[in-house]
Amino acid sequence: MNVYYIPLFQLWKINLGPNHVSWHIGPMPAAATIDMLQSCSFPAIRRLRLTNFRSYGALDFRTGSTLIALTGENGAGKTNLIEALSLLSPGRGLRRAEMAACARAPGSTGFAISVDLDGPYGETRLGTGTEIAYPGSNPVRRYRLNQANAGSARAFADHLRVVWLTPSMDGLFTGAAGERRRFLDRLVLAVDADHASRTNALERALRNRNKLLEASPGNGAWLDAAEREIAELGVAVTAARNETVARLAALIAATKDENSAFPWAIVALEGEIDRLVANYPSLEAEDRYRGLLRDNRGRDAAAGRTLLGPQASDLVVSHGPKEIAASQASTGEQKALLTGLVLAHARLVASMSGIMPIILLDEIAAHFDPLRRSALYGELQSLRAQVWMTGADPALFAEIAGCADILQVRTGAVSPLEG
């Protein structure tokens, strides 16, 4: 048995063979959680350069602040800037856009994003972008760390973590379960850079089984092999989700403030495979999931898809102080609850990785009344994270003008706000 100590938790990891582990987790005291947050590093971007990205042909600007507010008219390119920063993390960024759509002009040779980071290892240069090998070919994603080629954004994880909140997430609690799963997987990915490869492999395995059920439903050997792969990947994905949710729930419980403007959340996972992973060791959970897949081949063939598994799980969120489902809270309460959840996740990332994430908040200030907006700025300053915010009205950031860089964004350009 291998024993590991992880910030926020004592985590016992029992190796049962390749890709098979059993977990036992116990929360740390609140004081220890706070100590871990105080000892983490606080990366900050000091220079951002864009080439041929979205509305920016060429941009190069520096910032020396922890709080950065980007103001300007709608369509000026504020969200484009923070999207560029989000692409320094694994995945497709806060818009989930295809890389070809990020280049400024159709048919261009690609785009480039580069930042100079004051990070845990001193000044570090990170870069990503795309290249087009020949006209008409698909763009190829590239990554560079200190001007040397890197295999993926995973190479940046020792230097930088990024979390975000955008207006597109406002309907998270009332929308489809698929949106909450996507949100959950981003939470996991911020602390586990391998999560994306597991979820992508699971999606491919599920598509393969669906094709077999349609084309060769009587081929038991092929289906057995496909279901064995799905069971292994499905349990691994679910275990990572369950672990992240358990850690997040414990951190919220340890640090919740009944008087906060951002109510604390109760979070849990709901689904058949989530119950299997919670109640059985991973090997037995795999066996039981594989049995469910085998027993439900006929139903899945009729439906044209696999009905049981991580792809059917849901993240259940409740408003802690009111003891109601998040979906039943008012629109304003849901926004405050979601904001509190994202800030708690930022603390979780810091406690697990030792790196306070850079936080991207798109059009955040306009959604709150003055009291809650003031409380938000207080929360952000207490985190000590570098925070990039956008908002059309400069007056929204007047309260932090003395401690933040307030920048005016015009099409293709960024400059200090005048006056």
Run means of pLDDT, 10 residues per run, the chain, 419 residues: 31 34 38 58 96 95 95 95 97 92 79 96 96 81 95 92 96 96 96 92 97 92 97 97 95 92 96 96 96 97 96 97 96 96 96 95 92 95 96 95 95 88
Q: 300, 320, 354: which is the final residue of a domain?
A: 354
On whether the CB atoms of residues 346 and 187 are closer than 8 A, the answer is no
Measure Cα distances from 163 to 105, 290, 412 in Å.
28, 35, 25
Q: What are φ and ψ of residue 299, in 5° steps?
A: -65, -40
Strands 358-361 and 162-165: parallel
What's the CA dihedral at 170, 65, 391, 86 to 10 degrees? Answer: -50
Domain with 251 in it: 170-354
What pLDDT shows up at residue 2? 29
Same domain, 270 and 395: no
What pLDDT shows up at residue 32? 46
Which CATH number do you get for residue 368?
3.40.50.300
Same domain, 54 and 185: no
Same domain, 220 and 249: yes
Q: 354, 377, 399: which is the final residue of a domain?
A: 354
Same domain, 304 and 179: yes
Residue 335 lies in a domain: yes
Residue 231 lies in a domain: yes
Residue 105 lies in a domain: yes
Amino acid type, 95: R
Residue 4 lies in a domain: no
The strands making up 265-270's β-sheet, listed across from edge to edge, are: 265-270, 314-319, 324-325
Same domain, 279 and 202: yes
Q: Cα separation of 191 and 92, whole Å? A: 16
Q: 325, 354, 383: which is the final residue of a domain?
A: 354
Which CATH number do you get for residue 321?
1.20.1050.90
What pLDDT shows up at residue 19? 36
**H helices of 151-194, where?**
177-191
Residue 15 lies in a domain: no
Q: Cα separation of 209 and 223, whole Å? A: 7
Same domain, 390 and 242: no
Tokens for 43, please give them.
């990366």
Q: Cα separation of 119 and 9, whole Å? A: 25
What pLDDT shows up at residue 40? 86
Residue 32 lies in a domain: no
Structural domains counted in the chain: 2
Counting other chains too, the contacts that 364-372 makes at CB distance below 8 Å and 24 or more residues apart are 364/165, 364/339, 364/389, 364/390, 364/391, 365/389, 365/391, 365/396, 365/397, 366/391, 366/392, 366/393, 366/396, 367/170, 367/332, 367/335, 368/332, 368/335, 368/336, 371/261, 372/261, 372/262, 372/336
**Cα 394 versus chain centre, distance:** 28
What pLDDT shows up at residue 38? 64
Same domain, 271 and 327: yes
Contacts of 150 (CB under 8 A, 6+ apart): 143, 144, 156
Tokens for 327, please give them.
């979906």
Same domain, 100 and 110: yes
Q: Cα separation of 341 and 339, whole Å? A: 5
Same domain, 259 and 344: yes
Strands 44-53 and 20-27: unpaired
Q: What angle do CA 200, 206, 209 make, to 5 degrees?
A: 145
Same domain, 365 and 323: no
Residue 33 lies in a domain: no
Q: Cα separation of 363 and 340, whole Å? A: 16
What's the CA dihedral at 146, 147, 149, 152 to 10 degrees? Answer: 50
On whether the CB atoms of residues 241 and 299 are closer than 8 A, the answer is no
Same domain, 178 and 267: yes
Residue 9 lies in a domain: no
Q: Cα separation of 163 and 272, whole Å? A: 29
Same domain, 208 and 260: yes
Nearest to 110 by CA among 127, 128, 130: 130
